[in-house]
Structure 1
């Protein structure tokens, strides 16, 4: 299928977005939130068609699944974005040169953003609200796993846009096949940036095949270091929350790194993990500490493959270290630079960890589950960037802008 006409229409529509009045953008988003709530039944019906094609044991099943409660939460996030100040037209810096030229650096939209994502239909709502608020047009390339859900959501968005007299081409959903992905990755004339959201395999494919600039997001290999100076009760609650709050998200804990002096506490840390059905892959010292107290059918010896793995399920590895430096070395070796945490009452250890660990978000004495645009007060997110150019961490409105120089003169010419 030739998609060049679609790309061209989206590019043309993007040029009017920066001119939309502020109140119209807010009204569109508020109406979309209300329409999403009103259309809950039809959205869930479409979602059930997608769920029916997926094995419930698949780690992506929970990401794919929509519920009435989740749609309520999505609508709340859309309203939050509507209420945020516009990121456009901000004067980032200004100065007057000796020759009288007045120069300003002003925030502007990126233009056309292509999103490639897997079984996460909530992303369709999230990225549209963020892109509209930041003046960006949107090309959505969802996977076949969520094709019915995505189609129902985009149909609803188009209805709202048409009611407000806005060109529906500011957001288009591409076919769920790989050919559509290939065409978008090569649409350098029409697409300004591509953001993949999904597995490491998807991200690698996009990075290796795209001619359009890419911002990497999504894959999270997350560690929490339980220091020699960690508070047991506080630390236990943090580990359980980070691992089990929602296992299929990128900020979920994958590897507990524990100081060897705290191995006697590992059985206590594991009590609630066991009740929640967490399967543990422990290195030799940790296995010995857990053997006999942790359910035998949920405890296995760790192999190299269990470190550096994003489980996206009720699975977790445990690594024993002799001290802070070894913990940091292990994390920096296996991390995807997403979210990493330390549990410690030693302030020197905390500060050293926060400075030495290379990740988009680093935490002390709290759960990595907070790596989320809404939790960061950003309204929502288009993804968690794990790279360093342009944006890092939760990407929301400010991260969806670039800037241009505005120069005003009074007849100056260059010698």
Structure 2
């Protein structure tokens, strides 16, 4: 078993080493394979022999040798040079951190969101193909093929290893943040499987956004996304019981929320709102901060939450935003008002098969006293979700309101 400190170090070094190799050799797919081999060698050698004085230099040297070996297809030379690589010093290792450039490359517009996510976790996050496959509950061979196709697409597109400029930079950054947000969401509320969350994915998303924030400290949306993740993840330990059953926000023990994450998130959220523009992550962070600011669920400033969702609907129209606004509206004006707003989503194709619309309707029907309709909606929502934790919760709610 690899020491957690070594794992953290390898994940920190992986994008730096890969960026250095791609900048030097210009072939992303070959460099990425070579870096993965170097990381594997480190997981075997470092626990037994100790971490080298310059781990980034060690990895760069090993990966460079592996890349040359692959290009020469010479097994004998590979064995000799691999042994030599462990003794190579840090000379020639550039000081430039190309992590941000690498993120832009992994989120290339020719890739699908699923491929962008997988490639980001592998190339920048340092996760193995097996780890990514387990996280998304697909066979390792399927994930390996997805990553391979993504690298081939990038090569075919002839992408240059550089930061884009102007409008292209803004658009590509938007995609990068969206991919990192998708990774976090899958970690915070898994779309399927036995567990409600996958903490490793959530932590990895936070780590990667921290890296982007360190390189773009003045970008308000980057700060807003980091704030949103921290404020949301602060509640993770209270979202399930010891048996793994879901605990809704209003029933969570707020004294157990991670105060360190909340304090950092609140500070970032406030700072992000000081910019000249207003984006969706800043607004979502402000909403999360409003919840975090309430000592109890009953003290939540729902009018502020609703007002922020109204602005968010204008800035980034999305049916999930309207769905969440309906919850806030119901807290202000009563469940009937929330149900009326939900009815506007019934014809939206994006929500046709989404259990969240049905489960929120069930919740509001229950609050309105229509237990028979609430029962049917809870049962339907339970059948629609692939998350076992959420299914158990919805089935429990159905039993409680059963006529």
Q: Which category describes the TM-score, using the shorter chain as reference length?
A: under 0.3
Greater helix content: 2
Structure with the larger RCO, 1 or 2 (CA within 8 Å, 6+ apart): 1
TM-score, structure 1 as length reference: 0.26
Which one has the bigger strand percentage? 1
Q: TM-score, normalised by structure 2?
A: 0.26
